[in-house]
Amino acid sequence: MKFATRKFWKATAERVISSIAGGALAVIGAGQFGVLDADWQTIGSIALGSGVVSLLKAFAAQGATGTGPGLTNAEKLD
Protein backbone atom coordinates (compact mmCIF):
# COMPACT_ATOMS: atom_id res chain seq x y z
CA MET A 1 0.00 0.00 0.00
CA LYS A 2 1.17 3.47 -0.84
CA PHE A 3 0.19 5.46 2.26
CA ALA A 4 3.59 7.09 2.59
CA THR A 5 3.73 8.69 -0.85
CA ARG A 6 3.59 12.43 -1.40
CA LYS A 7 0.90 12.02 -4.07
CA PHE A 8 -1.38 10.13 -1.67
CA TRP A 9 -1.07 12.78 1.04
CA LYS A 10 -1.52 15.64 -1.41
CA ALA A 11 -4.74 14.14 -2.79
CA THR A 12 -5.94 13.21 0.69
CA ALA A 13 -5.21 16.69 2.10
CA GLU A 14 -7.30 18.25 -0.65
CA ARG A 15 -10.21 15.94 0.22
CA VAL A 16 -9.91 16.56 3.97
CA ILE A 17 -9.74 20.36 3.62
CA SER A 18 -12.73 20.32 1.30
CA SER A 19 -14.70 18.19 3.77
CA ILE A 20 -13.84 20.49 6.69
CA ALA A 21 -14.98 23.55 4.74
CA GLY A 22 -18.14 21.79 3.59
CA GLY A 23 -18.97 20.69 7.13
CA ALA A 24 -18.55 24.21 8.48
CA LEU A 25 -20.64 25.73 5.69
CA ALA A 26 -23.38 23.17 6.19
CA VAL A 27 -23.69 24.04 9.88
CA ILE A 28 -23.61 27.78 9.27
CA GLY A 29 -26.17 27.52 6.45
CA ALA A 30 -28.44 25.12 8.33
CA GLY A 31 -28.66 27.45 11.31
CA GLN A 32 -29.51 30.43 9.11
CA PHE A 33 -27.69 32.82 11.39
CA GLY A 34 -24.98 35.38 10.94
CA VAL A 35 -21.28 34.68 11.28
CA LEU A 36 -21.07 36.87 14.38
CA ASP A 37 -23.81 34.85 16.11
CA ALA A 38 -22.26 31.48 15.33
CA ASP A 39 -21.30 28.92 17.96
CA TRP A 40 -17.77 28.45 16.64
CA GLN A 41 -16.93 25.61 18.99
CA THR A 42 -19.78 23.51 17.59
CA ILE A 43 -19.01 24.52 14.02
CA GLY A 44 -15.33 23.62 14.51
CA SER A 45 -16.20 20.31 16.10
CA ILE A 46 -18.52 19.26 13.28
CA ALA A 47 -16.13 20.52 10.60
CA LEU A 48 -13.17 18.62 12.06
CA GLY A 49 -15.36 15.53 12.41
CA SER A 50 -16.09 15.80 8.69
CA GLY A 51 -12.35 15.97 8.05
CA VAL A 52 -11.67 12.87 10.13
CA VAL A 53 -14.35 10.94 8.25
CA SER A 54 -12.80 12.04 4.95
CA LEU A 55 -9.35 10.93 6.10
CA LEU A 56 -10.63 7.53 7.19
CA LYS A 57 -12.43 7.11 3.86
CA ALA A 58 -9.17 7.87 2.03
CA PHE A 59 -7.32 5.21 4.05
CA ALA A 60 -10.09 2.68 3.43
CA ALA A 61 -10.14 3.41 -0.31
CA GLN A 62 -6.35 3.16 -0.57
CA GLY A 63 -6.41 -0.13 1.29
CA ALA A 64 -9.19 -1.49 -0.92
CA THR A 65 -7.93 -0.33 -4.30
CA GLY A 66 -4.24 0.47 -3.83
CA THR A 67 -4.54 3.23 -6.42
CA GLY A 68 -5.33 6.33 -4.38
CA PRO A 69 -7.65 7.95 -1.88
CA GLY A 70 -10.73 7.45 -4.07
CA LEU A 71 -12.68 4.33 -4.92
CA THR A 72 -12.70 5.17 -8.62
CA ASN A 73 -9.73 5.58 -10.90
CA ALA A 74 -10.35 9.32 -11.18
CA GLU A 75 -7.31 9.95 -8.96
CA LYS A 76 -5.11 7.01 -9.76
CA LEU A 77 -1.74 7.48 -8.01
CA ASP A 78 0.73 5.43 -9.99
Structural domain of 23? 17-29+48-63
pTM of the full predicted structure?
Answer: 0.76
pLDDT at 50: 94
Asked, for residue 59, whether it belongs to a domain, the answer is yes
Asked, for residue 40, whether it belongs to a domain, the answer is no
Asked, for residue 54, whether it belongs to a domain, the answer is yes
pLDDT at 45: 93
pLDDT at 47: 93
4: DSSP letter? T
The answer to whether 27 and 21 are in contact (CB under 8 A) is no
Chain segment 18-62, per-residue pLDDT in tens? 999 999 888 887 766 666 677 888 889 999 999 999 999 988 888
The answer to whether 11 and 75 are in contact (CB under 8 A) is yes
Position 75 pLDDT exceeds 70: no
Asked, for residue 9, whether it belongs to a domain, the answer is no
Rounded to whole angstroms, the Cα distance separating 50 from 72 reads 21
Asked, for residue 6, whether it belongs to a domain, the answer is no
Tell me how crowded residue 8 is: count the other CB atoms within 10 A of its CB: 20
Asked, for residue 1, whether it belongs to a domain, the answer is no
pLDDT at 76: 61
Asked, for residue 69, whether it belongs to a domain, the answer is no
